[in-house]
A and B are shown apart, each in its own frame.
Chain A
């Protein structure tokens, strides 16, 4: 038998060991040498504070009373962790991006940093958690009493109370030491988390050891255990369907909403990737924790029938003479209880201090944040006092409830209480329409129904809820009976309470949310929470930029500590390109600052404190307009960029076109030069050849001489004409031509052209038809140049018209005040593909020699008409080749 003194010594050693671990971990974390401290394993193990002494000891007792049902308490969290992608991942991401410090802060921050909600959730959490802390104190003191007494069933009440008090004081000390050592910006407590991870290992090993001892040491292996189960009083499976499903739901909800779970799961999370590991590792932990529960229960029933089944984990090894195993088991239970109490106390004290104490403290000293006094110390002090108060409350509850069996049921009651946060939490995560009023209505209603139907009745007939009310309902109204609300009588009390509280809570939450209209800050926060994966960055600042940087620095120093605050301000100033410690108080900066402060004192308080200095705690229309302005500027800037890039594109296209044109021109030039050389070379060749013949010695007839010299002469004339044409074209193209403007009449010009191009010797006769009446138009033009055009056209018709009886019709008409002169012959015309090129230089369609020209005529015509302000075009579809010369309106009109 182990004496109580040995037990106390072991306990103290164990606690000292934990202190050392926490201390070392804290030190290493501060040196930045985290390493394994931030491993997914530690994260997973820290989640195990879900398994409290209630589950360590109580699960076996639960199994003895209700068989397999105990397992539901583990199945809910298993499902939540396996489905981490749904909720946990989002919770953690939001928790990190918004610097969430607790579940109350989460709800408050989501609904527009509302402190009202923070207070509600904090109260709910305190009321729900206090009995649970009392339960831990009870189990620790009970386990002490097992060792101190030869007959465990007989409990010395005074010893129990004293033990509970020592434990409470010890835990308060530990929590204060490691939980409020510093106001970490992220509210992480490396020391505490590491100590808890170690405790998690201890309790797992302890339970596994007892289980293995029971299965292979007492019974004869798994088969024997199955046989023993069959033979025991829990062989019959008594599954109440409603309870089974409800408890799975309830444990899943509590897993998400319990303040201590939120603390380790979200606030203490160091790396999001750890969740993926915990997704399978934590269910595995729960699996191992519950694997031997039924074997222990069955063996306990056989070894110690009639004893308190809640203590079988301890009493069975003790009874069978395994003192050391019992000691290990005791340490496991002790670990379960202490780790839960420590984390719960930290989580609750954070909430109480951030949402209740600090707001009161701030409003008590109006304008307080900028007044003298150290906010940082105030926060830490309020945390320490809160921790002490919470443990005192737990102890008081333990004393008040008498440490009796009523406590055993408190686990589920507590779960149902904190689960009331679930609709507001899940709704806030996935539904942007959820509003502050909706959340408050749901929370208050759900909380009230829970208190009325489950919490108060759990005391039996007490002052708060007399037995008569339980029996007959308030004022004898039957359908308001706490455990048969609205006449629903058949349900188990827990199922009944969960059903009504969650239903009414959810309905109120949705109904009020649907009817209301959220404030701007609420909507902003809602968008940031729901779409946290879309933009993990912060939304634009929501605070006026008028805040004084110095005031903010003074305030931040008080919360974060001088060194950290100054470093942060300096960084911000540097980012803005300023030297020194005072950055411009841009909305971005204020937003960042608010977030940093939120990590220490909670979002609502930080918002209020910054608001006090910046002069406006709420979002004003001007703020929104400023944001809208910024957005508009951004839009405008981007559209300007877009326009500019389009312009660049256009310019590039134009350059490309110009380049193509230049290349084409260069090719044209080359072609032109080679054409000219060719044109000049042909007559030169014949001139040279015939002059060589003439120069040759020897007799030559007169006739031959004359013939050869005529050819030379003709070719020389042709050369001259070509050169004249080229010169003419060049002069025209370069715009060096001087026009001889005079008044004349179209008839005169035409007459001159026709007579000049009259049929020469040996040429084909061309009949020219004219309409003298229409030709009587006065013109101001250069008659010589115009005549040149006409002559060219008539000559062309003479040369190229392939009709048997060539005929040229010259028609004059007025169109839109301009005069058009059409030259239409009766030949076969010009084929469509060639119509485009006839005005180009050296464009000849038929056999070159027959034409006798260089192909410059029409090109010259076009240049002349251009200079005269008119135009010459090919007129298709006239039955032959047809050219239209149009004289501009002004030229024609001026003469009228």
Chain B
């Protein structure tokens, strides 16, 4: 109902939260790119593409993604709780 235009600038906290959300949205794209790298390594079964090395790469990338997801999820949840507290306080 309210026809007030949204403010142009956000409060610092909400701004940070939105950028965190952006990062969280971007993460699976980064993950997909990382997971497609093995295709570049072994286009025609060259000598360099070994199961052992590629496995280590895939698992390392995988773990890195999990850590990023953990950090982002933590930061986002904290933001949510804080926002909730603030709403409750009014």
Contacts and interface: CB of A to CB of B under 8 A. Distances in A.
B54 A78 contact: no
Give chain B's interface secondary structure class: helix
A71 B27 contact: no
B14 interface: no
Given A283-B65, A294-B55, A638-B1, A276 B77 contact: yes
B5 to A, nearest CB: 16
Interface in B3-59: 21, 24-25, 27-29, 31-32, 35-36, 38-39, 41-43, 45, 49-52, 54-56, 58-59
B45 A237 contact: yes
Nearest to A83: B28
A85 interface: yes
Given A75-B35, A83-B28, A241-B39, A67 B51 contact: yes
A239 B50 CA distance: 10
Interface stretch (A227-235, A439-447, A739-747): A227-235
B38 A244 contact: yes
A283 B52 contact: no
A237 B28 contact: no
A284 B25 contact: no
Given A229-B51, A236-B50, A78 B62 contact: yes
B42 A79 contact: no
A744 B54 CA distance: 122
A245 B40 CA distance: 12
B73 A280 contact: yes
B62 to A, nearest CB: 5
A248 B51 contact: no
A276 B73 contact: yes
A244 B39 contact: yes
Contact of A230 (B1, B32, B39, B52): B52
A80 interface: yes
Contacts of B67: 280
Contacts of A68: 38, 51, 54-55, 58
Contacts of A229: 50-52, 55
A245 B66 contact: no
A236 B41 CA distance: 12
Contacts of B35: 75, 79, 248
A241 B63 CA distance: 23
A290 to B, nearest CB: 8
A553 B41 CA distance: 66
Contacts of A291: 59
A82 B63 CA distance: 12
Contacts of A294: 51, 55
Interface in A274-299: 276-277, 279-280, 283-284, 287, 291, 294
B51 to A, nearest CB: 5
A627 interface: no
B50 A83 contact: no
A237 B50 CA distance: 5
A238 interface: yes
Contacts of A638: 1
A86 interface: yes
A226 interface: yes
A234 B56 CA distance: 15
A713 interface: no
Contacts of B31: 78-79, 82-83
Nearest to B65: A82
Contacts of B45: 236-238
Nearest to A295: B55
Contacts of B52: 226, 229-230, 235
Which of B28, B65, B70 has the largest count of A CB atoms less than 10 A from its CB?
A: B28
B28 A82 contact: yes
Contacts of B24: 83-85
A78 B65 CA distance: 9
Interface residues of B, number: 39
A68 B76 CA distance: 34
A83 B1 CA distance: 32
Contacts of B55: 68, 71, 229, 294
B39 A287 contact: no
A764 interface: no
Which of A80, A83, A287 has the largest count of B CB atoms less than 10 A from its CB?
A: A83
Contacts of B68: 82
B21 to A, nearest CB: 6
Contacts of B51: 67-68, 229, 234-237, 294
Interface in A623-642: 638
Interface in B68-83: 68-70, 72-73, 76-77, 80
A283 B66 contact: yes
A237 B80 contact: no
A230 B58 contact: no
Nearest to B46: A237
Contact of A237 (B21, B32, B42, B73): B42
A378 B22 CA distance: 48
Which of B21, B25, B38, B51 has the largest count of A CB atoms less than 10 A from its CB?
A: B51
Nearest to A293: B55
Interface string A719-732: 00000000000000
Interface in A81-108: 81-86
A631 to B, nearest CB: 11
A273 interface: yes
B70 A280 contact: yes
A38 to B, nearest CB: 16
A78 B31 CA distance: 9
B58 A71 contact: yes
A85 B21 contact: yes
A239 B42 contact: yes
B15 to A, nearest CB: 17
A279 B39 contact: no
Contacts of A86: 25, 28
Contacts of B66: 78, 82, 280, 283-284, 287
A85 B25 contact: yes
A79 B73 contact: no
Interface in A31-74: 67-68, 71
B70 to A, nearest CB: 4
A603 to B, nearest CB: 28
A66 to B, nearest CB: 10
Which of B31, B32, B55 has the largest count of A CB atoms less than 10 A from its CB?
A: B55
Given A236-B45, A276-B77, A79 B32 contact: yes
A276 B38 contact: no
Interface string A217-259: 0000000001001100011111101001100100000000000
Nearest to B22: A85
A291 B60 CA distance: 11
Contacts of A67: 51
B49 A239 contact: yes
B73 A83 contact: no
A280 B31 CA distance: 13
A291 B55 CA distance: 9
A236 B53 CA distance: 10
Contacts of A234: 51
A85 B42 CA distance: 32
A71 B65 CA distance: 15
Which of A68, A75, A237, A294 has the largest count of B CB atoms less than 10 A from its CB?
A: A237
A60 to B, nearest CB: 14
In order of increasing CB-CB distance, the 5 nearest A-B pairs are A83-B28, A280-B69, A280-B70, A237-B49, A229-B52
Interface of A: 67-68, 71, 75, 78-86, 226, 229-230, 234-239, 241, 244-245, 248, 273, 276-277, 279-280, 283-284, 287, 291, 294, 638
26 contacts: A68-B38, A68-B51, A71-B55, A75-B58, A78-B31, A79-B28, A80-B28, A82-B27, A82-B66, A83-B27, A83-B28, A83-B29, A84-B24, A86-B28, A229-B55, A234-B51, A236-B49, A239-B54, A241-B43, A244-B36, A244-B39, A276-B76, A277-B73, A283-B62, A291-B59, A294-B55
Given A230-B52, A283-B66, 5 more contacts: A68-B55, A81-B69, A82-B31, A83-B25, A229-B50
